[in-house]
Amino acid sequence: MLTALLAWAPSAAAQDRTSADAGPTVLVMGDSLSAGYGMTAAEGWVALLADRLATRTPRWNVVNASISGETTAGGRSRIIDALARHRPQVVVIALGANDGLRGLPTASTAANLAWMIGAAHGAHAEVLLVGMQMPPNLGAEYTRAFAGNYRTLADRFDVALLPFLLEPIALDPDAYQADNLHPLAAVQPRLLEHVWEALEPMLD
């Protein structure tokens, strides 16, 4: 089924392609942390990435397909259409936080992420897998399994890995909005620099 859908994608997407027509595309599949929750569209790290590429490597485009509240199951359900529509050369998969916060089984999260990676590879795109970590109140066993998923999948599929998106601000209580979950606009440049270290080598 996956092979058939990907084979169908180029013709079905012909009239939907916009920015991808002009050059190679980075597609970001994420949740509220990548969608810029609580800030203007221009302030999130993905928007800042687009600004940087427009200046440094203008042939590259960025498509932000992130949705606040998205789980890995949601990303799995959307990725075929996103691949068909945008035909990216690089796919950034930054999902899992909402799975963890809901206490969803780590095996299910891993299966969904694996499916997304396989879909991206089937569309001849490179993958940057961006991991998350859960707070210790969910239990040591769960938090270990959750974080371990990303390393295991990166090794299994031989994809680039950024182990923890929020690493630069994780221990800074002043970096978050009032909900203590979503970073402030002011720290988005720090998140961009963190992602950039892993992403830049893929933009050849």
Q: Is 194 a catalytic residue?
A: no
Single out the catalytic residue among 21, 158, 174, 179: 179
Q: Is 34 a catalytic residue?
A: no
Contact status, residue 4 vs residue 154, Cβ threshold 8 Å: no
DSSP conformational letter for 184: P
Single out the catalytic residue among 31, 32, 66, 99: 32
Rg (C-alpha) for the chain, rounded Å, is 16
Q: By three-state DSSP, how is residue 32 classified?
A: helix
Structure-token match 């940087």, residue found: 52
Q: Which amino acid is at 119?
A: A
Contact status, residue 39 vs residue 183, Cβ threshold 8 Å: no
Q: What is the C-alpha separation between 36 and 28, in angstroms, rounded? A: 12
Contact status, residue 35 vs residue 28, Cβ threshold 8 Å: no
Q: Is 32 a catalytic residue?
A: yes
Question: C-alpha distances in angstroms, 123 versus 72, 73, 90, 164, 177?
Answer: 19, 19, 10, 26, 37
Q: By three-state DSSP, how is residue 84 classified?
A: helix
Instruction: List residues with catalytic annotation.
Output: 32, 179, 182
